[in-house]
Structure 1
């Protein structure tokens, strides 16, 4: 694997280890405590961090279609997604609240492990050319999305998202 892929895979495994350590160190009251700078509890925020990986796993097949579309189609689709930003934020918040009840502290590490395994298998199968393909992206949806992103940047996104939110957790020091 080239350095970019290796780094992405290393970051994935680092995040999985961090999630496991957060979950081992946290008790029930820690998980119910409000996180710093969000409306989520720590447990909901931990799920949201896992959800960033789940989103990329669901998104990559669409991205592979989009990168092959004409620029006008990519741009139109991106504008449509950006137009829905006002709806995406409440859905993101409420979805993470609800989903944390299913993928709670007992299940989220296993879910992340499985999601990472799938992403790593896909990443290993990518060609250098496919990783460099770019598409327009809905940059209003997330601070780590840019107006145009490569497939490689999309693979790297969940770890950036994870690290950002890890700083917002109100959990005991590791």
Structure 2
């Protein structure tokens, strides 16, 4: 692999922190009625969608492990795994929806901020330990699962993914 220059860790870290602060601002400014209102373009309430936005960061911690493992296997193994996951897209979307509904009852408006703080702190620590070579490791992804997944994603792209996911869903909130 040709040298691609250093990865901009401070930029990734700043985006993680931006989303963390933004979530706290959203939680702090929303009224009880805002949390219970339907979001725009989803079946979730604002509270459920806010949890789903936090969940994007929680998922990244697991995706990082998968990329580290699959990047060491033959490409055909990763592509096959991605095809299997893509085939299960309808089930994934149903579990994704219902899971966020259920989880928002636990990580509700009073708890999701602390959960977000913990997850983003863990991502920040993990990012700080990554080498540039590791951040360039990649694997095939199930592109039908999320509009921000590409056919192949590096660890760097996975660290950048939740900010895109967060911003996309933030526009669907119907708070105040």
How many residues align structurally? 171
1:28 matched residue in structure 2: 32
Deviation for aligned residue 1:72: 1.1
Deviation for aligned residue 1:60: 1.2
Deviation for aligned residue 1:71: 0.9
Is contact 2:67-2:154 (8 Å) kept? no
Asked if 1:118 is matched to 2:116, the reply is no
Asked if 1:43 is matched to 2:27, the reply is no
Deviation for aligned residue 1:4: 2.1
**What does 1:8-27 align with in structure 2 at a 5 Å threshold?**
8-27=12-31
Supply the distance in 1 between the matched residues of 2:93 and 2:87 (Cα, whole angstroms). Answer: 12
> Quick one: which of 134, 143, 164 aligns to 1:160?
164
Supply the distance in 2 between the matched residues of 1:60 and 1:149 (Cα, whole angstroms). Answer: 10
Gaps of 5+ in 1: none
Supply the distance in 1 between the matched residues of 2:67 and 2:165 (Cα, whole angstroms). Answer: 18
**What does 1:3-152 align with in structure 2 at a 5 Å threshold?**
4-152=8-156
Is contact 2:23-2:113 (8 Å) kept? yes
Supply the distance in 2 between the matched residues of 1:121 and 1:159 (Cα, whole angstroms). Answer: 17
Deviation for aligned residue 1:3: 5.7
TM-score (norm 1): 0.96
Deviation for aligned residue 1:65: 0.2
TM-score (norm 2): 0.95
Gaps of 5+ in 2: 1-5
What CA RMSD, in Å, does the superposition of the two structures yield over aligned residues?
A: 0.9
Aligned structure 1 segments of 4 or more residues deviating by more than 6 angstroms: none
